[in-house]
Copies of this chain bind each other. A is one copy, B any other.
Amino acid sequence: MNDWIESVAWNADGLVPALAQDAKSGEVLMLAWMNREALTKTAESREAVYWSRSRGKLWKKGETSGHVQRVLEIRLDCDADAVLLRVESVAGIACHTGRRRCFFNRLEGEGSEARWVETDPELADPSTFRDG
Chain A contact residues, CB within 8 Å of chain B = 1, 3-4, 7, 17, 19, 21, 25-28, 30-31, 43-44, 73-82, 84, 95-97, 99, 102-107, 110-112, 114-116
A78 near B95 with CB under 8 A, answer: yes
* Given A1-B112, A28-B19, A114-B43: A78 in contact with B107 (beta carbons within 8 A): no
B114 near A102 with CB under 8 A, answer: no
> What is the count of identical protomers in the complex?
2
B106 near A78 with CB under 8 A, answer: no
* Given A43-B107, A102-B77, A103-B75: A21 in contact with B17 (beta carbons within 8 A): no
Task: Tell me the nearest residue of chain B to A84, going by C-beta.
Answer: B103
